[in-house]
Structure 1
């Protein structure tokens, strides 16, 4: 057997060391990424002046056809009626990585509940039908909505491209729903921001 080189474990940088590393680059804004684990990234988003801490979830740590509910509970979010898939249909391309979420077992509706209220939520959406993205407070009152007015499948005649960014902003968002009226849709790059650091 040949001589194997030793592997050096990568050291996790402290917050101060990260800032020193960023000082060596000419970045347009101070983006800080203190935590990145299991395809979940915690970051500071300078574009949201009234928010402090944001979470970005990339679903690539999930297995294909895994029911998604409490996998991200430690990050403050629970999914309902959600399944991880690696789309084989080219009409539903992924944005980054191979895994996205779809509504299942019931088509057309996916709900996300936040353990603490948030101020901003977004996702990349590809849908076979028009879709409504809605935010609710803790009493179930509708706060705001964003719509995908038409289907946006890849290789279709839609004026909208797949993986369209939909976002919602309101005070004290406790849950959001994606509703495509029995259509099929996928979500990727799910992000949310708290109104202040916990």
Structure 2
């Protein structure tokens, strides 16, 4: 009998703590809340009355990237869920160094390499994504006035089939009140993200 063990690594930087990289094992259900919505580009009939302004607190929205076409510029596709992307492209990676965590489609920063920004139409309290990067990557959260609230740092590259101590698709998360935008920055490196999720 073969047993599979799934290990999730998480990098976290909280605003009320001394900045540090935590290399601990976390279960994914750490982020479970009372409600989670899988958000599609096209709303089904059951989702017609759901939008960013009607979603209750303690709800997380996980974006279904599989609705996107390969090489599609991603900007307003999820706006009805309260989120807008900037400098973002949907791809299905052919490079084995950038494996997907689930599904076939991921997001990458393009046309400007190594940078991706996300704006929320309503303040959120948590943002997380699984990231694979060719070098150090910083996830930064900002308030409505573009003041830095929190950061989460992937301290080094985590490409597949490399000697990195971090696995591909490492979970990065920021948690604080009233996040209105986040940026992913790998300083001209390449990165992919999937399982993008935000909580209200």
Normalising by the smaller structure, the TM-score range is 0.7 to 0.9
Cα 1:30–1:165 shift into 2, 3 Å: closer
1:93 equivalent among 99, 105, 108: 99
- Between structure 1 and structure 2, the one with the greater Rg is 1
- Measured against aligned partners, the alpha-carbon deviations of 1:4-47 in whole angstroms (never above 9, x if no partner) come to xxxxxxxxxxxxxxxxxxxxxxxxx985557664599x9xxxxx
Cα 1:157–1:111 shift into 2, 3 Å: same
- Measured against aligned partners, the alpha-carbon deviations of 1:94-127 in whole angstroms (never above 9, x if no partner) come to 0111000000000011000000000000000000
- Count residues in correspondence: 157
SS across alignment from 1:60: helix
Correspondences of 1:137-156 after superposition (within 5 Å):
137-156=143-162
Q: Structure 2 stretches of 5 or more lacking a match?
A: 1-31, 48-56
Given that 1:76 and 1:116 are in contact with CA atoms closer than 8 Å, whether structure 2 keeps it comes out as yes
Cα 1:66–1:88 shift into 2, 3 Å: same
Q: How many angstroms does 1:58 deviate by?
A: 2.6
2:151 and 2:37 map into 1 onto residues whose CA distance is: 31
SS across alignment from 1:143: strand
Q: Structure 1 stretches of 5 or more lacking a match?
A: 1-28, 43-50
Alignment match, 2:64? 58
Q: Which runs of 4+ in 1 moved over 2 A?
A: 29-40
2:90 equivalent among 62, 69, 84: 84
- Measured against aligned partners, the alpha-carbon deviations of 1:132-159 in whole angstroms (never above 9, x if no partner) come to 0000000000000000000000000000
Cα 1:33–1:112 shift into 2, 3 Å: closer
Given that 2:38 and 2:61 are in contact with CA atoms closer than 8 Å, whether structure 1 keeps it comes out as no
Query: Do structure 1's residue 189 and structure 2's residue 163 form an aligned pair?
Result: no
Query: Do structure 1's residue 69 and structure 2's residue 104 form an aligned pair?
Result: no
SS across alignment from 2:196: strand
Alignment match, 1:162? 168
Given that 1:39 and 1:58 are in contact with CA atoms closer than 8 Å, whether structure 2 keeps it comes out as no
1:30 and 1:122 map into 2 onto residues whose CA distance is: 14
2:109 and 2:39 map into 1 onto residues whose CA distance is: 26
1:104 and 1:181 map into 2 onto residues whose CA distance is: 13
Alignment match, 1:112? 118
